Amino acid sequence: MLNFIVDDARCTRCGLCVKDCPVRIIERQGDACPTIIAAEAGDCMGCQHCLAICPAGAISILGRSPDDSRPLTSGALPTLAAVELLVRGRRSVRQYRAENVDPALLKRLLDALANVPTGVNRQELTFRLIDDRAVMERFKAKAMSDLRSALAAGEIPEAMSSIGRLPVAYFEEGRDLVFRGAPHALIVTAPPDAPCAREDVSLALAYFELLAQSAGLGTVWCGMLSWVLSARPNLKTDLGIPEGHLHYQMLFGYPAVQYARTVQRDDGARVERISI
């Protein structure tokens, strides 16, 4: 089932695949090519480390050929300075242009997002996307109307009473405090039995944010929507969120604001060095 194939002509017998396999199911006998330990094949995580680490491109697995992978050369990777500037320059964007993001760009971002790390490489994340501004406008109007009706009917717990300002701002003041005028939303969900469900969701959105901002898009983590969904869980059905699944969401789109420089908050992180 693993379809583990080693090209004998390419294989240099370096043993890197044997050493790097996380679950240690690859072995090499004498001068033979590496093979999978048959009795332990079911332990494979599907990580493709063996395909990735082979310098000669000799290993195929799970139907994946090394010739279809992109080479990782130093010149092709971003420098530390470039990534550092991206992290420092990232801003939460709350002003957006009223237009859809190019579908080809969205596909490219989501294809890359499929490579984010997940606990035990379970890859059980689902990326739910509002990719049309018209759909966003309909969901936004429904969410605010539902919240306003629930407040009028006394269905919102007293502990969440401050949420009442959201529909007032939306309908009476023309202020979108939840969705910030963003044309799109990415909702990442994970099943409750995933080994690291909450961490997987957060990591995926963090990766998406950096990918999106490197492509010139604006993003913002949407805690307000979590607030709304907690008060009105029926709205999760519209977003396709299964009952019991962990989730979080990010708004994004073409920004209507351009930041000119990084901020200065290197002293904002508390660092404690451990000495044992």
SS3 of residue 195 by DSSP: coil
Q: For residue range 250-273, list pLDDT tens digits in order.
A: 999 999 999 999 999 998 889 999
Spatial distance between the Cα atoms of 267 and 265, rounded to a whole number of angstroms: 5
Q: Tokens representing 193? A: 């039995």
Looking at the fold, whether 236 and 153 belong to one and the same domain comes out as yes
Q: Tokens representing 139? A: 């969901």
Looking at the fold, whether 99 and 45 belong to one and the same domain comes out as no
210: closest CA among 82, 76, 102?
Answer: 82
The predicted structure's pLDDT at residue 157: 87
Q: Where are the beta strands (DSSP E) in the chain?
A: 5-6, 26-27, 35-36, 59-60, 126-130, 184-190, 218-221, 246-253
Quote the domain boundaries for residue 61. Answer: 5-68
Looking at the fold, whether 234 and 101 belong to one and the same domain comes out as yes
Q: Is residue 130 part of a domain?
A: yes
Q: For residue range 122-161, list pLDDT tens digits in order.
A: 999 999 999 999 999 999 999 999 999 999 999 998 889 8
Q: Is residue 113 part of a domain?
A: yes
Q: For residue range 185-244, list pLDDT tens digits in order.
A: 999 999 999 999 999 999 999 999 999 999 999 999 999 999 999 999 999 999 999 999
Looking at the fold, whether 90 and 24 belong to one and the same domain comes out as no
Query: What average pLDDT does range 105-116 have in this prediction?
Result: 97
CATH number at residue 140: 3.40.109.10
Looking at the fold, whether 90 and 62 belong to one and the same domain comes out as no
> Of 62 and 269, which is predicted with more confidence?
62
Looking at the fold, whether 93 and 186 belong to one and the same domain comes out as yes
Looking at the fold, whether 209 and 169 belong to one and the same domain comes out as yes
SS3 of residue 188 by DSSP: strand
Q: Is residue 265 part of a domain?
A: no
Q: Is residue 150 part of a domain?
A: yes
Q: Residue 58 pLDDT > 90, yes or no?
A: yes
Query: What average pLDDT does range 95-111 have in this prediction?
Result: 98
Spatial distance between the Cα atoms of 83 and 85, rounded to a whole number of angstroms: 5
Looking at the fold, whether 60 and 127 belong to one and the same domain comes out as no
Q: Is residue 270 part of a domain?
A: no
Q: Is residue 151 part of a domain?
A: yes
Mean pLDDT estimate for the chain: 96
Looking at the fold, whether 107 and 213 belong to one and the same domain comes out as yes
CATH number at residue 61: 3.30.70.20
Q: Tokens representing 256? A: 């209507």
The predicted structure's pLDDT at residue 74: 82
Count of Cβ atoms closer than 10 Å to residue 111 Cβ:
9
Looking at the fold, whether 64 and 95 belong to one and the same domain comes out as no
The count of structural domains within the chain is 2
Looking at the fold, whether 151 and 62 belong to one and the same domain comes out as no
The predicted structure's pLDDT at residue 89: 97
The predicted structure's pLDDT at residue 1: 83
Q: Is residue 90 part of a domain?
A: yes
Q: What percentage of the chain has pLDDT greater than the value 90? A: 95
The predicted structure's pLDDT at residue 201: 98
Domain final position from 16, 36, 68: 68
The predicted structure's pLDDT at residue 121: 94
Q: What percentage of the chain has pLDDT greater than the value 70? A: 100
Query: What average pLDDT does range 245-253 have in this prediction?
Result: 98
Q: Is residue 267 part of a domain?
A: no
Looking at the fold, whether 178 and 223 belong to one and the same domain comes out as yes
The CA-atom distances, in angstroms, between 21 and each of 56, 68, 70, 107 are 17, 21, 20, 31
Q: Name the pLDDT band for 120 (thresholds 50, 70, 90).
A: very high
Q: Tokens representing 231? A: 């008060």
